[in-house]
Amino acid sequence: MGEAALFWIMAPVAVFGALGLVFSRKAVHGALCLALTMISLALFYIAQEAPFLGVVQIVVYTGAIMMLFLFVIMLVGVDSSDSRVETIRGQRFAAGLAVAGVVLLLAGVTVRATLPEEPAGLAQASPDGNVAGIADAIFGTYVWAFEVVAALLITAAVGAMTLTHRERLTHRPTQKELSIKRFSEGPPGEAAGLPVPGVYARHNAVDTPALLPDGTPSEASINRVLVARGAARSTEEFRHHPTPADVEAAAQGDVDEPAGELGTDDDASGGERA
């Protein structure tokens, strides 16, 4: 009863994830839908008394491979307009033939498949255990198919590296050339490089602007992505605003205004070095 309830609950979830993979417009959403389908399949394996396959499905495929795909997609970025451009002639026709062949193969296997009258349990199917049964099937009965699939995966990996390889058409500047260009063409104030976020500031965080030698916060030290998202702290928060007492003391010439003061009462010493 519990197995049937699990099937009727997770089967629509698996189908929904598969349809989301096919019809999603963004690659990130497609990867998440595929991960949802893989998790559903892992639950099916566990319900069918195959805990090893279920754990491998979650740890290896969902947790490692699919998350790697997802991180690569999120870091590199895939434009939906570029994904529909056919870079290799005839690839759509070849893909159609491949899909038709897979459909015919699955249909033939389904028609010729025969099910036993009484299903066999795990103890009868693999008396030595689930892991030993899988090892005997892979490296014994289906060793030839296993080797062919391994060779196919290696060929696919080499082909992917070959297709994504780019020949460098221009000279790659060295560190010395970049330094000379920065001093000769860039602004003099940025010749030595900009301070990193958090330097001479009260917080060692990427959203906190660095303080220049004169005590003013540097807007260029904050990542432009954080600024665009509105996640960076305002430079006015760390800019020093002299108080009337500071103005009076400066006019009398009693004390010199510290160069690295922040605009807060509890941090009049210029902040701690991160």
Residue 213 within a domain: yes
Question: Which of 76, 93, 114 is where one domain is finished?
Answer: 76
- Residue 210 φ/ψ, nearest 5 degrees: -80, 160
Residue 48 within a domain: yes
pLDDT digits (tens, 9 = 90+) for 222-243: 777 777 777 777 777 777 666 7
C-alpha angle 94-164-66 in degrees, rounded to nearest 5:
80
Residue 15 within a domain: yes
Are 271 and 212 in contact by the 8 Å Cβ rule? The answer is: no
Question: Which of 26, 58, 76 is where one domain is finished?
Answer: 76
CATH of residue 39's domain is: 1.20.120.1200
Percent of the chain clearing pLDDT 90 (strictly above): 9
Q: What's residue 255's pLDDT?
A: 47
Residue 95 within a domain: no
Q: What's residue 89's pLDDT?
A: 75
56: buried, middle or exposed (CB in 10 Å: 19+, 13-18, 0-12)? middle
Split at pLDDT 50, 70, 90, the class of 257 is very low
DSSP E strands, the chain: 210-211, 217-218
Residue 62 within a domain: yes
- Asked if pLDDT for residue 101 goes beyond 80, the answer is yes
Are 257 and 246 in contact by the 8 Å Cβ rule? The answer is: yes
The SS3 of residue 217 is strand
Residue 218 within a domain: yes
Q: What's residue 60's pLDDT?
A: 84
pTM over 0.75: no
Range of the domain at 6: 1-76
- Asked if pLDDT for residue 32 goes beyond 60, the answer is yes
- Asked if pLDDT for residue 1 goes beyond 50, the answer is yes
Residue 185 within a domain: no
Total domains present in the chain: 2
DSSP 157-178: HHHHHHHH-----SPPPPHHHH
Q: What's residue 87's pLDDT?
A: 65
Q: What's residue 66's pLDDT?
A: 78
pLDDT digits (tens, 9 = 90+) for 138-178: 888 889 998 999 999 899 888 888 877 777 778 888 888 88
Percent of the chain clearing pLDDT 70 (strictly above): 73
Q: What's residue 185's pLDDT?
A: 80
Q: What's residue 135's pLDDT?
A: 84
C-alpha angle 259-260-266 in degrees, rounded to nearest 5:
125
Residue 189 within a domain: no
